[in-house]
Amino acid sequence: MHRRRRTALLLSAAIVAAPLLTACGSDAHPGAAAVVGGQRITVAQLENRVSEVRAAQREAVPDEAAYAQVVAKSGSLPRDVLHNMVLDEVLHQAAQDAGVTVTRKEIQKMRGDLESQVGGAKALETAWLQQYGVPPQRLGENLRLQLEAQKLATALGTDTGKPAFWNAMSAASKKLGIELNPRYGTWDVQKSSRADAKTPWVREVTAAGTQQTM
């Protein structure tokens, strides 16, 4: 995945289907989808965030057939949502390390400017959901992250697509000591990105119901 597409603002709305992953054996952190900086992102928290996206998609696409197509195209939604949840923490850490802060006034101004550009609050919510998978209740939070990314890049004398920015993100990833539940993959510190796990204790269950045993 190209580095400049790793912030939520640059994510593609198209999500490809992925095989279901199940994990064997005991987890080092029971109930955790990920551990970031010693703090757990629980499976329940992840499921709640996925449900928020699904509910927003359902409201935006009331037609049953159209909604079914949306769901079918986003089989990897839990992994994508977890990727963003972890990346958000990495970005926040990198911003803190660089002394970057974002005020509520700055967020409000950015939101107002964007609403003016797209034709109002509802239009902005719809655009963020369709293009970036951000539900309306997470819009303000996401705009804060966008501002953090912009201000971090400025503080580093670069932009979000340049190596200097992603070196700072990699340093933050390493500092946070990120661990993912194997069913959701692994975290690549150098790229600050989630990757599919290729480990002997994970097996894929195909749509046909066949499975590869360990």
Give the structural domain span for 80. 3-205
Task: For residue 26, give both structure tokens.
Answer: 């005991």
- Asked if residue 210 belongs to a domain, the reply is no
Cβ burial 169-201 (10 Å sphere, 16+ → b, else e)? bbbbbeebebbbbbbbbbbebeebbbeebeeee
pLDDT(103) > 50: yes
Closest CA to 94 of 6, 173, 154: 173
pLDDT(100) > 50: yes
- Asked if residue 85 belongs to a domain, the reply is yes
Residue 198, pLDDT score: 64
- Asked if residue 211 belongs to a domain, the reply is no
- Asked if residue 140 belongs to a domain, the reply is yes
pTM for this entry: 0.77
- Asked if residue 42 belongs to a domain, the reply is yes
| Percent share of the chain, pLDDT over 90 | 64
- Asked if residue 129 belongs to a domain, the reply is yes
Q: Number of folded domains in the chain?
A: 1
Q: Among 57-71, 159-173, 187-201, which is the least confidently predicted range?
A: 187-201
Residue 197, pLDDT score: 67
Q: Looking at residues 161-175, what average pLDDT do you find?
A: 96
Residue 9, pLDDT score: 43
- How confident is the model over 6-17, as pLDDT tens digits? 444 433 322 222
- Asked if residue 212 belongs to a domain, the reply is no
- How confident is the model over 104-150, as pLDDT tens digits? 999 999 999 999 999 999 999 999 998 888 999 999 999 999 999 99
- Asked if residue 214 belongs to a domain, the reply is no
CB 22 within 8 A of CB 198: no
Closest CA to 198 of 214, 210, 182: 182
Domain of 169, CATH number, reads: 1.10.4030
